[in-house]
Structure 1
């Protein structure tokens, strides 16, 4: 009988302790049907600092019309309209502006060494009557006059492998290469570079 009484007391204590645990819990809210989603607050937009575009300067007008450079038929050979041959015409190589007192023009054969000969003019006056293009650079120096200085390189032949080809550089009086390019012209045609001394 003592054992039965002990068992009843133990079960009662157990149930009592379990029931008491329910009352010790704090309030539990009922969750809503649709959960509330917290919205992320976006950071304040900071407008970018806008720097106005630089004013585009109008290109300096050239004291000549590049399209009309070769109009003098007494000095320039007329273009040949030979289909598939692009080099039987005069070639304008561009212009540069400089404050240099002198400039050097360096030149050499741009392709195979095939006995290309040239003649060089400065403002329509011959300054190099005849020279063969080789693998190493040759050069001539010119004293620049104020304004336009026109250098014409005439192809005296086309070598053994046409056309007359050469690579050239224009160097200012400080030794800086200010222009470089190459020409491809047929016999009797000229490649022209304009140096404008400011």
Structure 2
């Protein structure tokens, strides 16, 4: 009986302690107030690049990539026209045409025009006090039917002195009266000779018989001219 009472007393004591211990609400320990106030972290502002208007007058810089270019190597970028895309058959065709033309010329079936003079020939300025001049002309080569036309030009007006003048081995005279100032003479080849271009020799004399100039023209094509300028002083 005594033992039962002791057990009951211990049960009530433990039960009472556990209710007192676990019945109250848990309270956290407040932090220690040190008086130091912290600031909230603020993100640092991001620097924005300055906006600069482009200078349209400034030439843009050109940057070249480094290359291993060596002297003698072909230019990788070139505006020079090359024959890379030319048909190889064109060269063979041109050579064949030249051979055919040469063969035709050698056999008298085609006229050789490669030697013809296609530009006017200026014999310069001659100063004289003579009132008139005599131009003596002839064909200095083989007689093959060369024809010329002589024209005097003064003050922008042309006067035909001789037309369809046939050149042979004999001299033919062309008389020319000079006006004050500039006088221009043109000897024009009216055709090609049967053996080649128009050829001729000339001698220019004043009224006293003095030779002022002598020379020749060679293998003129039709329409090509010998030009002279006379200044009457």
The two structures have a TM-score, normalised by structure 2, of: 0.48
**Aligned equivalent of 2:229:** 194
CA RMSD of aligned residues (A): 1.4
Q: Structure 1's 163 and 86: CA in aligned 2 closer, same or farther, altered over 3 A? A: closer
**Aligned equivalent of 2:188:** 154
1:168 pairs, out of 193, 197, 202, with 202
State the shift of 1:95 in Å: 1.9
The two structures have a TM-score, normalised by structure 1, of: 0.56
Q: Structure 1's 197 and 135: CA in aligned 2 closer, same or farther, altered over 3 A? A: same
**Aligned equivalent of 2:163:** 129
State the shift of 1:150 in Å: 0.7
Say which one has the larger Rg.
Answer: 2
**Aligned equivalent of 1:115:** 145
Whether the aligned pair in 2 keeps the contact of 1:93 and 1:183 (CA below 8 Å) is no
SS at match of 1:159: coil
Give the whole-Å Cα distance in 1 for the aligned partners of 2:221 and 2:182. Answer: 26
Give the whole-Å Cα distance in 1 for the aligned partners of 2:184 and 2:232. Answer: 11
State yes or no: 1:100 paired with 2:135.
Answer: no
1:2-13 matches, within 5 Å, as none
Show CA shifts across 1:12-41 (max 9, x none): xxxxxxxxxxxxxxxxxxxxxxxxxxxxxx
State the shift of 1:195 in Å: 1.3
**Aligned equivalent of 1:140:** 174
Give the whole-Å Cα distance in 2 for the aligned partners of 1:93 and 1:84. Answer: 24
Give the whole-Å Cα distance in 1 for the aligned partners of 2:197 and 2:232. Answer: 31
Q: Which structure has greater helix proportion?
A: 2
In the alignment of these two chains, the number of paired residues is 116
**Aligned equivalent of 1:77:** none
Bigger RCO of structures 1 and 2 (CA < 8 A, at least 6 apart): 1
Q: Structure 1's 86 and 130: CA in aligned 2 closer, same or farther, altered over 3 A? A: closer
Whether the aligned pair in 1 keeps the contact of 2:116 and 2:197 (CA below 8 Å) is no
State the shift of 1:102 in Å: 0.7
State the shift of 1:86 in Å: 4.8
